[in-house]
Amino acid sequence: MSDCFFRFTAGPHTKSIFMQPINIAMRYREFKYIAEAVKKTCNRGHALEFHLAVALHERLKQVQYLTREQLVSAILQYKTPTITDTKNVYEDTFILKGTITKDVIDCTTPESLQPGGLFDPNIKGALSYANRELQKHIEFIHNNERKDKVVATAIGTAGGKVDVEITANGKPLEDLSLSLKFKSGEFGQTKISTRPRSGQLADLQKTFVNQFTKMFTDLGFPTTFKDLGIPIIEQMIQDKTYSTAWTNWYNNYKKNPGRFDLKKQTGPSGSEMVVEVNKAAKVYMEKLYSTMAGVMNNTFKGKNGELKEKEIIGNFLMNELTGGDNLSVLSFDNNAYTKMPASEIQRLQELIKTVEIRVSDEKAKSKSGESGVDPYFRFYDATNDELIFMIRNTMDGEHIVKNVYQQGPALNKYKEKISY
């Protein structure tokens, strides 16, 4: 009988009986990790600033190319939101510093950094950029026979357009003051929060007017908005359909706060009322976009030479891409990075002054999950009908109104894409 027992445990049944608990335990750990990651805000874009700053710091210290293992090991040594490291190499000093969010630290684990992990695209991108773009700086720093102080800083959480910057002896290294993007052609936005503390429609109107005034001033048309745009905002606030829907939704939000998921159609009790608010507001957003586009297009039509408004458009692009500073824009996706050097952004700014600009208002299917469409401004180079940039009006499940600035194909000639 015992012989039979041992044959049974050594047979194929043993594998199924004893391996199943192991598989369950492994799955439990996987699900636990995923659940914990969901509780945290594991944002790839925020983590990218940290991961890239570490990659640049490590690569600048050494002459050899950085390996994935070296980068992952270096990243994992930082356990707190304040990151700092100082390393002397011969007579040069290399410093890493910055402040990142606790969620980024918590989400940066061996699992998330491994191939196929949450931050695998970050590691591949940071490694490729550090190994490809720094050689001339490394040769200069290590061969100039002077004492250099090289500082890599993760700046993103401090606000502004600069996310990562490398300085040598207090001066930024060429093309290494970086504004980072992750899988995004967006380069800015005007965001309107529609929940004034007072709960009064008059204050809601002020918020809309102030934020749109800022955007149209940046675009060079403040007077037009004052004369033609503000009356449209006033009409929206006075419209009983909008004001009643907004008041009902706002009062419910105070009791049951939270976002209504427009795609899944789920959310806190009563949050679905936001759908009617957005629907009522969209009528006026479409009217505002159509009215302003007509005036802007008439201003630019037939103007091939320099024009004050076109100079302002060029400045708008420069400011939104770089904050007006001498920055390079670096975008990452899963398999490539795209760089737009500061010199090319300045060339774009100058070119905008001389081309004929055409402005159209168009509509596209809403990306928020709602039925209907989102209104757009599209700014074209009329000489070749290339889209320079566009502004898209969207609303979300908390009635936050955004005017999102997105790059067009005409900007591609100022970029270089490197696949890895």
Q: Which of 35-44, 236-245, 381-390 has the lowest average pLDDT?
A: 35-44
Q: How far apart are CA 150 and CA 170, in angstroms?
A: 8
Considering only residues 265 and 304, tell me which one the structure prediction assigns the higher pLDDT: 265
SS3 at position 277: helix
Parallel, antiparallel, or unpaired for β 164-168 and 149-154? antiparallel
Q: How far apart are CA 257 and CA 32, in angstroms?
A: 28
Nearest Cα to 55, choosing from 81, 88, 78? 78
CA distances from 39 to 106, 107, 113, 385 (A): 11, 10, 18, 46
Question: Per residue in 205-228, pLDDT tens?
Answer: 999 999 999 999 999 999 999 999
Nearest Cα to 300, choosing from 195, 388, 168? 388
Per-residue pLDDT band for 231 (boundaries 50, 70, 90) equals very high
Predicted structure pTM score: 0.78
CA distances from 234 to 225, 238, 295, 371, 375 (A): 12, 6, 19, 25, 19
Considering only residues 284 and 364, tell me which one the structure prediction assigns the higher pLDDT: 284
CA distances from 98 to 72, 105, 108, 290 (A): 18, 12, 16, 44
Per-residue pLDDT band for 185 (boundaries 50, 70, 90) equals confident
Q: What is the CA angle 361-364-369, rounded to 5?
A: 135
Domain range summary for the chain, segments of one domain joined by +: 44-182, 186-328+340-419
Q: Which of 9-18, 179-188, 315-324 has the lowest average pLDDT?
A: 9-18
